[in-house]
């Protein structure tokens, strides 16, 4: 059985511990949200890129991270990532896909995570993306 970390990679005194999780697959959205909650994050969900943009506009000042599927209806993850970076160039974005094992070359993201992934894989990518720059 996989062991997940008990604490978020963020400083516990840091008020910014929210994650925007975006996926059009309801079961994956729910399971990943639960894993993120165990990691200590407050999770805001969206079901496609358009919904993600709406949620990002509302919450972007409080978000530590956006985790987004690439292939979704209405607006895909690549387009949504570009628009998110237009709103906030410093936004941290992890793109994910089950259709490719490599990050798309034109994606605007800090990291890529191939599906299916384990909770520990998600944790490691989040830690890497949220590490303070030296």
- State residue 1's pLDDT score: 42
72 lies in some domain:
yes
- Domains of the chain: total: 1
Residue 76: domain span: 18-130
3 lies in some domain:
no
CATH number at residue 44: 3.40.50.2300
60 lies in some domain:
yes
5 lies in some domain:
no
2 lies in some domain:
no
- State residue 82's pLDDT score: 93
Output the pTM of the full model: 0.85
9 lies in some domain:
no
78 lies in some domain:
yes
- State residue 98's pLDDT score: 82
Which parts of 39-101 fold into alpha helices (H)? 49-59, 77-87
pLDDT tens per residue across span 49-105: 999 999 999 998 899 999 999 999 999 999 999 999 999 999 999 999 987 666 666
- State residue 56's pLDDT score: 98
Query: What is the spatial distance between Cα 42 and Cα 115, in angstroms, rounded to a whole number?
Result: 22
For the chain, give the percent of residues with pLDDT over 90.
69
- State residue 113's pLDDT score: 93
For the CA atoms of 9, 13, 14, 15, the dihedral, rounded to the nearest 10 degrees, stands at 120
């Amino acid at each position: 059985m996989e062991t997940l970390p008990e604490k978020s990679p963020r400083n516990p005194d840091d008020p910014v511990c929210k994650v925007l999780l975006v996926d059009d697959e309801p079961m994956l959205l729910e399971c990943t949200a639960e894993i993120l909650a165990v990691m200590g994050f407050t999770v805001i969900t969206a079901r496609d890129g358009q919904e993600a943009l709406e949620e990002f506009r509302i919450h972007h000042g409080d978000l530590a991270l956006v985790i987004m599927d690439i292939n979704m209806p209405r607006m895909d993850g690549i387009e949504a990532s570009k628009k998110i970076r237009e709103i906030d160039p410093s936004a941290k974005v992890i793109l994910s896909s089950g259709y490719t094992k490599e990050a798309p070359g034109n994606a605007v993201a800090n990291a890529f995570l191939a599906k299916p992934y384990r909770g520990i894989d998600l944790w490691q990518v989040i830690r890497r993306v949220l590490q303070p720059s030296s």
